[in-house]
Structure 1
Amino acid sequence: MKDPHSPLEGFWFSHVGWIFDVESEKERSERATNVADLENQPFYKFLQQTYIVHPAILGALLYAIGGFPYVVWGLGVRGTWGYHVTFLVNSACHIWGNQPWKTGDLSRNNWLVALVTFGEGWHNNHHAFEHSARHGLEWWQLDTTWCTIWTLQKLGLATHIKLPTDAQKKKLASNHNQIVHPVDVIPQLK
């Protein structure tokens, strides 16, 4: 499958530009959605139909509690931080880091991005095993998202958890696990 936010189209496109290019993203990813089962659930339909109401209520609540500074920090700064650490997975994790799995793309594992995204920075792991609930596959790869899923599983609230098998890992194991900087393939920042 093609990468819908490849850095080959430029750093800024891979960081944030792709989000404004919905039709092109659908074409590049070769499928409109992979969550059809969720789209049919009433709870998620409700969230989709009322998505603008939730931040409006939060904004009003924050203003009532602490005035405009609370709105700035609770909506503006928090939202900006959340978006940009997410976008770092699409940009930085395709440029800097190591590539322990042969995925045929530019995805990289980046420990710094993994730290600020609760484990999503183990992006080469994700590209290699896209259905895996766990991105930090080594004991030292911090993945608090996986810790949450594991806890939910132990409580019986998450089921059918998928993890890569040893055979799958062996098949995709790379001969090079060094840190790489693909500057010859990445165009200049635009």
Structure 2
Amino acid sequence: MPGGLVNGQWALLAARGFGRMFAGTWIEGDDHEEIARLLRADPAQGVSCGLDEAMREYEPYAFREVVWLGAHAPGWTQAITIAGPRLRTDLLAGRRYVQVVWDALGLGVHDLYYSDGVTADRLSPRHIAGPWPFREYTDGLLPHGPGLIDVSGTGPAQATGSLGLWLENWLVLAGRLSGRLMEEEYFQTGRRLYALPL
């Protein structure tokens, strides 16, 4: 893993139950209620809770959409999908963001969804070292590792080999861009749980 992060960002998320699906969106801005409104949530309906309580609602692929949203680092908010599909990033037009998606029953690691505040796009994990708006945050993150297999076998995808490298790359990049990597204390922070309209 890059930078010796074998038990890094993904290990923290997997230990909290995100093994089947994780969709995290790091969004520029400190006004969490404004961001909730952009996502079509009613800020008055948000329920304050920690991640353990939020995970009682964990339901990947559900026909409902629930996010745990709140402060990440100065100038940044994070929204973690607890139920349903990944957040619609088109609702965040004009803001910088990155979105990391892990889907064990699908592709495994998705392309990184991102916006530099002007242009929104997607980036393949194989092109992380190429020219793109957030290239300055990729130092030491490699698209391939020696002997790593690029595809998953049959059955659910596992965050190992190239899939594990790519997933950790995206999570580290999100932490560098926003100014904070996730750590144990991070998950003790209270945020608000919002139901979003489908």
Q: Is TM more than 0.5 here?
A: no
Q: Which has the higher helix share?
A: 1
Name which structure has the greater RCO, CA cutoff 8 Å, separation 6+. 2
Q: Which has the higher strand share?
A: 2
Structure number with larger C-alpha Rg = 1
Give TM-score scaled by structure 2 length: 0.25
